[in-house]
Amino acid sequence: MSMEKMRNLGGDGPPKQSGQRRRLFRLRKPQLDTEKRFDIETISSFKQMPSFLPKHFVTRRPLMGACCSCMPQSRREFMSGELRELGMRNILDVRTEMANTGFLSRCFADEAYALRHPLLSKYPDLTKSVLTSPRVVHAIELTAEQVIQSTHGDRDYLFKQISMIEKQCVKTINKMKASVSCIFINFTAWFLTKFLSKFLRSVQVCRGQMMVVKQASQKGIPMIYLPLHRSHLDYILVTWILWHYDIRAPFVAAGDNMDIPFFNVLMRGLGGFFIRRRLDTNLGQKDLVYRALLHEYMTKLLSHGEGLEFFIEGGRTRTGKAVIPKGGLLSVVVEACNEGEISDALIVPVTFSYEKIIDGNYCREQMGQKKVRETFWGAVKAIFRVMFNTYGSVRVDFAQPFSLREFLALSRANPYHPLTAPSAPARLLTDFGASYPNFSQTLLSTNGEAEITRMIVKALADHTVYTADHSTPPMATHLIAFLMLTKYRQGVYMRELVKGVHWIIRELHAIQTDVGFCGQIEDVILYAQELLGDHLISKQWHEENGDLKLYPSLSLPFVFELNYYSNLVTTHFALESILATAVMCEGHLSLFHLPTLSPASEIKVVRENVLDLAEELCLIIHNEYIFVPPCENLSTVLSGTLESFISKEILSTGDYAKVNVEKSDVRERLHFLVSVLGPLFESHLLVARYALSELTAELTEEDFLSAVGEYARKREKEGLAIF
């Protein structure tokens, strides 16, 4: 074969191409050097800095608990746009806080973390100053004079009575007061970190919220923590969380039912002081001395700059809903501010979200039986029961602190400001003969300074509970129970339930409400079902559909427990549910006929009639919910909610609004919204029917509740109950 053919078959080619090959080689060599340099730079940068940083995984959650717009100065203070990006923290796990410490500190993270916390300044003992205060001395003398008048004693007997009452005062204050120890708080905080991790997966707090509380605590004025009461664990959780952020522990007001051996020592060491559940021992007669001691003890604490914590609802909720607040202890704080004992105080609404009730269920009490009083052995048994169970996670939310002085100034300077607006239309007040107790009355219409203060305290209490209630993020168990009782009472397949959870999360995010969980929704559902147990939500595999089906328990008493979890979500949909119920009533629609309506059906409602009916429904269940804060008008908020119905195409525009029942999604949404408060309205209707048709003689409250319960069970067996 010739040389030319060999070159053509793949050899070196013809000689005339050699210059071209050299030029290509010179061009290729720099390119290869560039690629090598690029690979080296890429590898070195990857080793120096990871491809994904923590900022790439930041989830922007709704920052709940912002101060109401009615207090602009407090709303502007402490808040910044960066707070919502700080994320959550599990304070049960301190390893992340000790990551950059030494080897031994990382090995004994809990102990090292507790030891590095500083001992705060000593807490004052106010016993002597309380007993010698003019208020207490005057109460002692007045009580002694009342005894003398009733027994017709002489002056010597008066002095003996005063001496006896003074000795009793010493015993009372010693039994009441806290004995706070900074060393004990540090030790207990370390112990709780170990103990709580035995039955809780996590205790979550919002870093942004805690930064705000930390800044507020450095202002040098008393902090008043007002939590919603869910569990006995609430008593120590706030103090423990504040310890993690080096914030001074408040003095915690606890009922004397918690004054049981061992536990009372624990609570006193953490700042607890015990007060009677009933301040007056004799029916119809005020215990002036005890009231003076309690009032003076709290006032002295405030004047020394100490914080307070008390449950504004009075007791634990048995239904999952927030309880209408009591203003007794709050009035002491307001009076101290009015009288100049303190320059100001910062009110901090607090709320707890438990995935599973730690105290056990309240079915016994909801069935009409009496509450079992707390005892030492009962508490010991409860602790052992808790230790061998899993209760999921707890989330604690601290709303933005607001100035008590600002609230009082706005309330007094603007008597017709929405803070003191009438709570219901004049027509409703005339019809029902009572005002809407969730709101303050107009201050100018009241008689006397005491009545004005009482109305301000009522408005403050309602505002605090409303803020805390709407700052409560639903946990996984709450959302699943809520959906099972509203949308899927007959059971639901997993695929459909996953869609439902996604939908309800979007609805909550639209109203700036966070949820207390994350992860794959299917895993979240299975986790929640396992926590709730098969007695509340059972599951069954269906071969024909290749899917898991879940069923809620609708039998007594389990439905009460399931309803407890569900009620923590109903707050966020209460007003929409009331308006949907009003639309259904005005349009003469029922849940039975709603799914079978033909597309040609034309249902029209009068806008004003719907709003009037909605206000009457709010009045009927005013003891169940605080629908709007005192700084807003119920009629205005209902009108705004009705406008949202138009934007969501549930209703058309106009005075005679058309209900778009021809759309399947509208029918489905109406059914869902009516089901939110439907059981509550049905229970009110049931009591009214019993009172009208069955009640023939006067009964005690206990007997009446028992009779109504029996009447309800009878209707349920006969298939007459809707929910």
Q: Which two tokens stand for residue 165?
A: 């009452």
| Pairwise pLDDT comparison (546 vs 720), residue with the higher score | 546
Return the amino acid letter for 186.
N
Cβ 621 vs Cβ 634: under 8 Å: no
| Mean pLDDT score, 553-561 | 88
- Residue 215, in any domain of the structure: yes
User: d(Cα 253, Cα 184) in Å, to the nearest integer?
Assistant: 18
Strands 346-354 and 393-398, bridge-based pairing: antiparallel
Q: What letter does residue 397 receive in the DSSP assignment? A: E
User: d(Cα 78, Cα 67) in Å, to the nearest integer?
Assistant: 11
Residue 41: per-residue pLDDT: 59
User: d(Cα 307, Cα 2) in Å, to the nearest integer?
Assistant: 105
Does pLDDT of 24 surpass 60?
Answer: no
Report percent pLDDT > 90 for the chain: 40
| Pairwise pLDDT comparison (58 vs 435), residue with the higher score | 58
Do 460 and 497 sit in the same domain of this protein?
no
User: d(Cα 464, Cα 103) in Å, to the nearest integer?
Assistant: 46
Which of these three, 469, 492, 507, is where a domain ends?
469
Cβ 674 vs Cβ 577: under 8 Å: yes
Residue 17: per-residue pLDDT: 53
Does pLDDT of 543 surpass 80?
Answer: yes
Cβ 540 vs Cβ 453: under 8 Å: no
- Residue 681, in any domain of the structure: no
pLDDT band of residue 421 (cuts 50, 70, 90) is very low
Best CA proximity match to 321, nearest among 626, 631, 715: 626
Q: What is the CATH number of the domain that holds 421?
A: 3.40.1130.10
Does pLDDT of 437 surpass 50?
Answer: no
User: Phi-psi region for residue 557, left (φ > 0), alpha (ψ -120 to 50) or beta?
Assistant: alpha
Q: Looking at the 3D structure of the chain, how many domains does it have?
A: 3
Written as one string, the DSSP assignment of 248-306 is: PPPEEEEEGGG--TTHHHHHHHTTEEEE-SSS-SSTT---HHHHHHHHHHHHHHHHTT-
Residue 438: per-residue pLDDT: 37
| Mean pLDDT score, 75-81 | 76
Cβ 91 vs Cβ 246: under 8 Å: no
- Residue 697, in any domain of the structure: no
Q: Where are the beta strands (DSSP E) in 371-501?
A: 393-398, 402-403, 492-493
Model confidence over 612-641: pLDDT tens digits?
999 999 999 988 999 998 888 899 999 999
- Residue 150, in any domain of the structure: no
Do 444 and 489 sit in the same domain of this protein?
no
Question: Cβ neighbours of residue 329 under 8 Å, at least 6 residues apart?
Answer: 253, 298, 308, 310, 312
- Residue 140, in any domain of the structure: no
Does pLDDT of 247 surpass 70?
Answer: yes
User: d(Cα 651, Cα 633) in Å, to the nearest integer?
Assistant: 23
User: d(Cα 205, Cα 291) in Å, to the nearest integer?
Assistant: 36
Average pLDDT along the chain:
82
Residue 486: per-residue pLDDT: 94
Residue 296: per-residue pLDDT: 94
Cβ 336 vs Cβ 299: under 8 Å: yes
Do 18 and 79 sit in the same domain of this protein?
no
Which of these three, 438, 469, 500, is where a domain ends?
469
| Mean pLDDT score, 533-548 | 90
Return the amino acid letter for 484.
M
∠ CA 29-32-35, rounded to 5°: 155
| Pairwise pLDDT comparison (356 vs 30), residue with the higher score | 356
Residue 551: per-residue pLDDT: 95
Best CA proximity match to 576, nearest among 656, 475, 671, 505: 671
Does pLDDT of 120 surpass 80?
Answer: no
Best CA proximity match to 112, nearest among 99, 128, 98, 130: 98
∠ CA 9-11-13, rounded to 5°: 95
Cβ 687 vs Cβ 708: under 8 Å: yes
Does pLDDT of 549 surpass 90?
Answer: yes
Does pLDDT of 419 surpass 60?
Answer: no
Do 427 and 508 sit in the same domain of this protein?
no
Burial class for 392, CB neighbours closer than 10 Å (0-12, 13-18, 19+): buried
Q: Which two tokens stand for residue 240?
A: 């423990």
* Strand, coil or helix: 204: strand
Residue 500: per-residue pLDDT: 94
Report percent pLDDT > 70 for the chain: 84
Residue corresponding to tokens 């403050």? 460
Best CA proximity match to 382, nearest among 537, 263, 475: 263
Q: What letter does residue 401 receive in the DSSP assignment? A: P
Cβ 424 vs Cβ 635: under 8 Å: no
State the sign of the Cα–Cα–Cα–Cα dihedral 635, 641, 643, 645: negative
Do 457 and 534 sit in the same domain of this protein?
no
Residue 445: per-residue pLDDT: 39
Residue 676: per-residue pLDDT: 94
Omega prior to 557 cis, within 30 of 0:
yes
Residue 13: per-residue pLDDT: 46
| Pairwise pLDDT comparison (110 vs 689), residue with the higher score | 689
- Residue 712, in any domain of the structure: no
Model confidence over 280-328: pLDDT tens digits?
666 667 888 999 999 999 999 999 999 999 999 988 888 889 988 988 8
Does pLDDT of 153 surpass 90?
Answer: no
pLDDT band of residue 443 (cuts 50, 70, 90) is very low
* Strand, coil or helix: 347: strand
Does pLDDT of 61 surpass 50?
Answer: yes
Return the amino acid letter for 716.
E
Does pLDDT of 152 surpass 50?
Answer: yes
Do 383 and 346 sit in the same domain of this protein?
yes
Do 606 and 462 sit in the same domain of this protein?
no
Cβ 350 vs Cβ 210: under 8 Å: no
- Residue 555, in any domain of the structure: yes
User: d(Cα 509, Cα 637) in Å, to the nearest integer?
Assistant: 19
- Residue 433, in any domain of the structure: yes
Model confidence over 558-589: pLDDT tens digits?
899 999 999 999 999 999 999 999 999 998 88
Does pLDDT of 501 surpass 80?
Answer: yes
Do 427 and 506 sit in the same domain of this protein?
no
Which domain covers residue 626, as residue numbers? 478-673
Between the alpha carbon of residue 23 and those of residues 27, 34, 588, 607, the distances in Å are 6, 18, 90, 85
| Pairwise pLDDT comparison (379 vs 419), residue with the higher score | 379
Does pLDDT of 495 surpass 90?
Answer: yes
Do 329 and 446 sit in the same domain of this protein?
yes
Does pLDDT of 431 surpass 70?
Answer: no
Cβ 602 vs Cβ 652: under 8 Å: no
Do 462 and 486 sit in the same domain of this protein?
no
| Pairwise pLDDT comparison (687 vs 594), residue with the higher score | 687
Do 458 and 487 sit in the same domain of this protein?
no
| Pairwise pLDDT comparison (653 vs 503), residue with the higher score | 503
Residue 239: per-residue pLDDT: 92
Residue 10: per-residue pLDDT: 43
Q: Of 21-30, 465-474, 479-488, 596-605, which gets the smallest average pLDDT? A: 21-30
Which of these three, 449, 469, 489, is where a domain ends?
469
Q: Which two tokens stand for residue 208?
A: 């942004």
Residue corresponding to tokens 């219901």? 424
Burial class for 193, CB neighbours closer than 10 Å (0-12, 13-18, 19+): buried
Do 184 and 100 sit in the same domain of this protein?
yes
User: d(Cα 685, Cα 690) in Å, to the nearest integer?
Assistant: 9
HSE-CB of 19 using CA atoms within 13 angstroms: 1
Model confidence over 672-705: pLDDT tens digits?
999 999 999 999 999 999 988 888 888 888 888 8
Element (H, E) at 89: strand 88-90
Q: Which residues pair with 351 in a beta bridge?
A: 397
Q: Which two tokens stand for residue 147?
A: 């005894």
Residue 351: per-residue pLDDT: 95
